[in-house]
Amino acid sequence: MKKVRIGMLGIGNVAKGTYRTLELNREKIQASTGVSIEIAKILNRDISKDRGIDIPKEKYVTDAYDIINDPEIDIIVELIGGIEPATEYMAAALKNGKHVVTANKAALAVNGRMLQELAQEKHVMLRFEASVAGGIPIINAITTALMSNEIDDILGIVNGTTNYILTKMSESDADYNSVLKDAQEKGFAERDPSGDVEGHDVANKLSILMSLIFGVGILPKDIPTHGITSINKVDISIATELGYKIKLLATAKKIGKDVECNVQPCLVPASHPLSSVNNEFNAVFLRGNAVDDLMFYGKGAGPLPTGSAVMGDIIEIAKAIDKDSAFDRQPLLRFDADLRFIGEGRNQYYIRLRAEDRPGVLGNISSTFGKYSVGIETMMQRPAPKGDNTTVPLVFIVYETEREVLDKALAEIIENKHAVSVDNVIRVED
């Protein structure tokens, strides 16, 4: 039986999950691939540290290049995370003619093109299923079974931390800070949560999906990105009352030659499948011109779910090595589509204002919306918060309009003192 030798860079949670996935299912993997897969070397810079997993010490090396330059190693699995030195290591491995599997969304979103070119030059595979939505085999589906479709619409809940926080806020009526603290204690949020809660992690994943699906290269920093820090429990409870859930969505839509993409919290109708994606779960919703609506749901993080995706990639490469078959079966990032990036386009919006509690206010606000042709679908007045006798919260959901026009209307409402403040504006997605 052919032996395929893996060198793993990193010994964090995903690395341990990958190791455990192989241990757990070695028999099945061997029977179905006809190949024996061995994780032969693991980069572990501090061997004295207890990693909480029983791995033979002789597998550990402290220098990445002991793995990258080892001629016996067939596949490098990069699970360090972060842009550098991960990119450097992957590039070096590819140059050495080794296949690379990675879960690294940040490095791929920025350096995917260069890495892929290196892989193609050396006729090796670069696979990265785990980089988007963890265990959900979305990249595999997009780049194989769904190649028969033009996909024009992507909506994703692709960050478990923020989805956990929003779910708990909606279930418990607790505020953002206390839920974040709870999430940190449970290990669903990192000590520095900014990469998650400010949406940057989602932007990395959207950048990768857009390259796979639309064939455009957009850097994460160029995707308009808003996190969940502006969402408070008032918005969540009003949204629920109006039949919506608030979710942090990655959205990308192609209309002809125009593309719009955003990372931002959105109101999702309770009837939409994405609205019941709760806690740390992820989901990617796509619309293809033949297959119509599709949704893939599962765990977007965690050692074993992510390990499942990494191991899936390793298996595909191992089978190809065994059969000596064409190495063109990796997912292909593309950067050549002739598309134009546009703003948010026309959308429905949820608007929460604070206004003085006096007659005529509502009429004035409605008239200003009317002046800008912003149609009101839903209006809701809430009781004033305790201790505030002078202002009342007003909530509007308006029909499809351009964000720019809406912002002008809102500026005029404030300028004319019809409202005291615009407390939140959230896109409504259906």
Q: Which stretch binds a second copy (CB under 8 A): 177-185, 258-266, 271-279, 338-346?
A: 271-279
- Contacts with a second copy by CB under 8 A: the residue count is 57
Return the range that interacts with a second copy (CB under 8 A); candidates 51-59, 257-265, 287-295, 339-347: 287-295
- Which stretch of DSSP H or E encloses residue 147? none
Query: Could you give the count of Cα atoms lying within 13 Å of 60 in the half-sphere of its Cβ?
Result: 16
Q: Give the x/- contact pattern for a second copy in 148-187, rule: CB under 8 A.
A: xxx-------------------------------------
Beta carbon nearer to a second copy, 30 or 69: 30
Distance, CA of 18 to CA of 405 (rounded, Å): 50
Q: Determine if 289 is a binding residue for a second copy (CB under 8 A).
A: yes
What is the identity of the amino acid at 87? Answer: T
Q: Does 141 bind a second copy (CB under 8 A)?
A: yes
Q: Parallel, antiparallel, or unpaired: how do β-strands 281-288 and 151-157 relate?
A: antiparallel
- Number of Cβ within 10 Å of residue 305's Cβ equals 22
Determine which residue in the list 20, 59, 95, 233 makes contact with a second copy, applying CB under 8 A.
Answer: 20
> Contact between 140 and a second copy (CB under 8 A)?
yes
Minimum Å gap between C-beta 235 and a second copy is 23
Q: What are 1's two structure tokens?
A: 């039986």
- Sheet of 99-102, strands arranged across: 60-61, 35-43, 2-9, 75-78, 99-102, 126-127
Smallest distance, a second copy to C-beta of residue 46, A: 27
Nearer to a second copy, 315 or 395 (CB): 315
- In whole angstroms, how close is the CB of 318 to a second copy at the nearest point? 10
Can you tell me which of 93, 136, 239, 409 binds a second copy, judged by CB under 8 A?
A: 136
CA dihedral 282, 429, 333, 70 (to 10 degrees): -20
In the region spanning residues 295 to 314, those forming contacts with a second copy, defined by CB under 8 A, are 295-299, 302, 304-305, 307-309, 311-312, 314
* Given 16, 168, 205, 247, the catalytic residue: 205
What does the alpha-carbon distance between residue 220 and residue 1 come to, in Å, rounded to a whole number? 43
- Nearest distance in Å: CB 198, a second copy: 27
Residue 147 is a binding residue for a second copy (CB under 8 A): yes
205 is catalytic: yes
Instruction: Indicate the Cα dihedral angle 85, 91, 95, 101, nearest 10°.
Output: 100
Q: Which of residues 331-350 bind a second copy (CB under 8 A)?
A: 332
Instruction: Kindly provide the b/e burial profile for residues 82-110, where b requires at least 16 CB atoms within 10 angstroms of the residue's own CB.
Output: eeeebbebbbbbbebebbbbbbbbbbbbb
Enzyme catalytic residues: 205
